[in-house]
A and B are shown apart, each in its own frame.
Chain A
């Protein structure tokens, strides 16, 4: 099942290891106060990891799309309106960009970069089903694992249902193209059946789950076994220790 996906070496790791490493990167970025340290984390750990997994381009693409606009807005807003601004970094007519504000915006931007890049690596190399199963194998209640997996399936499922409703309403003469007003008029006939069908489906799905022993009280098993090597367990412990050390350092500082 999990044999044809990007990520190479990273793909075969236990999702919990990837989740732990990603969370560790993010927590370290928040615990270590200097943006330079966070930037070092990105350049010396996340970037090589993505190169190793062969997913550097999609990761950088995600960062560019998500972090770059946010960083731009942060630099302008924090640079201009930072409350504790004392040192002017740049003057453009009546506008003053404060050095403290720009530094703060830089710190937040680098943290965002770490968050997006770390999760990009996790998501690009981990099928959601594998992550849900690994979490269930690790002891997460089956109900939570189901909710996680169901949430991940929600969008494709809703899209399929919306397409059926769209076709049915078009067959009845509903116009979904044209002027803005015409499009706005088409929203209600699409949304109402979508909501009512979701309610019907929720009831029938609850019955279907009941028929398939969901919450039967038995300890569930999983269809696939997610391998968990000793080295990976050690890596997860190390991640935990590293975060703990950073936390203590932050408190001591």
Chain B
């Protein structure tokens, strides 16, 4: 069942003359992990804001086409209706701290407070989410005293505690070190295995392609490739798409040129796939 349905979407920001997204069609099934990539200004963050319902309610502009999230028209739905369906984590962890709460536990509970969730349920949900994300030991710390990676985990917990059906992540690891990035993605992977639908915008496809069930490449506001990561990489070979291929996939390209990797065999996306491919 499709959880996100985007048809003929064209969106132009208020002060711009050219659309940020043009003729976009995207269908995401329940439980999928879709990675969106592409060069800067390709429209990735705009797509995230549209799926999260921030466009057109927060960011105005001209939107054409239809966007449905869990069968709900995003353009017509109220914020309250959308909150239960979609959560979003942005690039800068520091800017996502509400600023009005003094401990990590309170910070995570902030959204639930605003939804009027009863206190016992709120405590249960916050403790459970802090444990799932692996920051239960930080519950009493100030969110401002944490490292960037820890702050991003707090932002993730704050989004997930609302129990959304879809999680949109807009370059959540771009400001984190490799260890912190892996931790954030590992947490998301665990939750995706439990049925969460994930849309992740990511430049570094080294790990993301490994987790992704689908890879969507945006180029100047339109989707130029959509499919399994290996298929997308094969299709983009030799094209300037602004996509940073995983090193192991580049190795596959080179091996194919040298005749070490059969033309019909899908390109490797993970080290395990490469090892298996070379062993055959």
Report which A residues bind B (CB closer than 8 A). Answer: 1, 127-129, 132, 142, 145-147, 149-150, 153-154, 156-157, 160-161, 200-201, 204-225
Contact = CB atoms under 8 A, between A and B. Distances in A.
Interface in B205-253: none
SS class, residues of chain B in contact with chain A: helix
A223 B106 contact: yes
Given A211-B83, A222-B119, A129 B95 contact: no
20 contacts: A1-B103, A129-B102, A132-B100, A149-B100, A149-B101, A150-B98, A161-B94, A201-B92, A204-B90, A205-B98, A210-B54, A212-B83, A216-B114, A218-B114, A220-B114, A221-B118, A221-B119, A222-B119, A223-B119, A223-B123
A156 B144 contact: yes
Nearest to A218: B116
A212 B118 contact: no
B79 A212 contact: no
B54 A222 contact: no
B80 A216 contact: yes
B99 A153 contact: yes
A132 B100 CA distance: 9
Interface in B49-80: 52, 54, 57-58, 79-80
Given A204-B95, A204-B96, 9 more contacts: A142-B114, A157-B144, A204-B90, A208-B96, A210-B54, A212-B111, A213-B80, A220-B116, A221-B112
B144 A213 contact: no
B115 interface: yes
B38 interface: no
Contact of B144 (A160, A200, A204): A160
B87 A211 contact: yes
A224 B87 CA distance: 24
B113 interface: yes
A201 B96 CA distance: 9
Nearest to B49: A207
A30 B95 CA distance: 43
Nearest to B86: A211
B110 interface: yes
Interface in B109-133: 109-119, 122-123, 126
B200 interface: no
Q: Which 3 A-B pairs have the closest CB atoms?
A: A212-B111, A204-B95, A213-B114
A145 B126 CA distance: 21
B140 interface: yes
B13 to A, nearest CB: 14
A213 B106 contact: no
Given A205-B95, A223-B105, A217 B80 contact: yes
